Structure 1
Amino acid sequence: MEVALVVLAVLVVIVLVWAIAQYNGFIRLRNLVQEAWRQIDVELHRRHDLIPNLVETVKGYAAHERAVFDEVSRARSAASASGATPGAQAAQENALTQALGRLFAVAEAYPVLRASENFQQLQLELTSTEDRIAAGRRFYNANVRALNTKVESFPSNVIANMFHFSRAEYFEAEDPAVRAVPQVGFGDEGR
């Protein structure tokens, strides 16, 4: 009888230690996801802060392109709104990226603008920020994958359900340029 109680107590302790370890693992992963999202948010704010300067620089050379400037401003305002989920933020950022693409298309028509040191510096800063956002997106999505795997896997999903841990949302790029398959061409040169 005593042996059975000792075995039962050991089993209860083992299950309890396992449950505590799983719970703490969920907390750690949730915090990593939140930290990674905050890092992306910092870079997105940096991007949003660069855009008005870029628009003003282009306006100085192409003042008649009012529709493009308004589109960029609207997209920036929507993307700057706080409280968006990663999916909603991704959609807003994709709209902003498309608007910026049209702004850069306008800039292509003005060689003096492209040669402007201010424009080049802003373009370089924006490119650097985009690179940091992409790196942050990879880090964030890796943490989301780890959390989602743990939430969905047995037996850890038992603890996830008990303590209401849920899947996190990925931050995905919808930019066609990012998703496009690179085109490789071998011209008729040398024939």
Structure 2
Amino acid sequence: MVIWIVLAVVVLLLLWVIATYNGFVKLAVNCDEAFSTMDVYLKKRFDLIPNLVETVKGYAAHESETLKAVTAARSAVGNSSTTAEKLENENILSGTLRSLFAVAESYPDLKANANFIELMEQLKAVENDIANSRKYYNAVVKKFNVKCRVFPSAIIARMFGYEAKPMFEVSSEAERENVKVDFGTSK
């Protein structure tokens, strides 16, 4: 009788380990999918930036420091090797884009340029998509991180090498402000 009880406990424990492990696998896949979704929108912005820089360059050539900062931040994003590094560099890129928008404010001819207006509309749409995908990514990562930290699933997380994933967070007060992409071009 005791053997059956011990065997039942072992089977139940084994089933719990399997279910918990499978839960981690599903959440990890969801995190990867959420990051990939966000990454698609970040790539769209990444590809849009050279066109934006070139358009601004034609009107504001003496603002080369700002243009160089945007280009350098874009390169840093492209050279990121880890998720955490990419998220940090994306925050820096967002900050340099703010500087570029501030420069553009000083040039009425630039703000009236049809190419610039179209690029800004595209950027506005991409920024909205990025914001939504960041929310989704952070929600999925939150679920994963909670499961990694609560008892008893934290034991399984450690056994199988699951660690908390980085949230997409802004790193400074300046970056907490909205990116201004509307230059009064709407009619």
Question: How far did residue 167 of structure 1 move?
Answer: 1.0
Q: How many residues align?
A: 177
- Contact 1:29/1:146 (8 A) holds in 2: yes
In the alignment, the residues of structure 2 paired with residue 174 and residue 131 of structure 1 have an alpha-carbon distance, to the nearest angstrom, of: 19
2:69 aligned with 1:107, yes or no?
Answer: no
2:36 aligned with 1:38, yes or no?
Answer: yes
Q: CA deviation digits over 1:60-95, x for unaligned, max 9?
A: 222222222111111111122142332x22321222
In the alignment, the residues of structure 2 paired with residue 96 and residue 178 of structure 1 have an alpha-carbon distance, to the nearest angstrom, of: 10
1:158-169 maps to which residues of 2 (within 5 A)?
158-169=155-166
In the alignment, the residues of structure 1 paired with residue 94 and residue 153 of structure 2 have an alpha-carbon distance, to the nearest angstrom, of: 39
Say which of 10, 24, 27 aligns to 1:26. Answer: 24
1:1-191 maps to which residues of 2 (within 5 A)?
3-86=1-84, 88-174=85-171, 176-177=173-174, 179=176
Greater Rg by CA? 1
> Runs of 5+ in structure 2 lacking a partner?
178-187
In the alignment, the residues of structure 1 paired with residue 140 and residue 95 of structure 2 have an alpha-carbon distance, to the nearest angstrom, of: 27
Paired amino acid for 2:11? V
In the alignment, the residues of structure 2 paired with residue 28 and residue 62 of structure 1 have an alpha-carbon distance, to the nearest angstrom, of: 50
Three-state SS of the structure 1 residue aligned to 2:118 is helix
- Contact 2:95/2:175 (8 A) holds in 1: no
Question: How far did residue 131 of structure 1 move?
Answer: 1.3
Question: How far did residue 114 of structure 1 move?
Answer: 0.6
In the alignment, the residues of structure 1 paired with residue 46 and residue 129 of structure 2 have an alpha-carbon distance, to the nearest angstrom, of: 14
> Runs of 5+ in structure 1 lacking a partner?
181-191
Closer, same or farther: CA 100–57 of 1 in aligned 2, 3 Å:
same
The alignment's C-alpha RMSD in Å is 1.6
In the alignment, the residues of structure 1 paired with residue 45 and residue 16 of structure 2 have an alpha-carbon distance, to the nearest angstrom, of: 44
In the alignment, the residues of structure 2 paired with residue 107 and residue 27 of structure 1 have an alpha-carbon distance, to the nearest angstrom, of: 46
The TM-score, its normalising length taken from structure 1, stands at 0.86
- Contact 1:45/1:80 (8 A) holds in 2: no
Q: CA deviation digits over 1:34-65, x for unaligned, max 9?
A: 11111111111111100000011111222222
The TM-score, its normalising length taken from structure 2, stands at 0.87
Of all paired residues, the percent bearing the same amino acid is 45
Paired amino acid for 1:77? S
In the alignment, the residues of structure 1 paired with residue 153 and residue 125 of structure 2 have an alpha-carbon distance, to the nearest angstrom, of: 39
Three-state SS of the structure 2 residue aligned to 1:171 is coil
- Contact 1:33/1:144 (8 A) holds in 2: yes
In the alignment, the residues of structure 2 paired with residue 49 and residue 145 of structure 1 have an alpha-carbon distance, to the nearest angstrom, of: 29
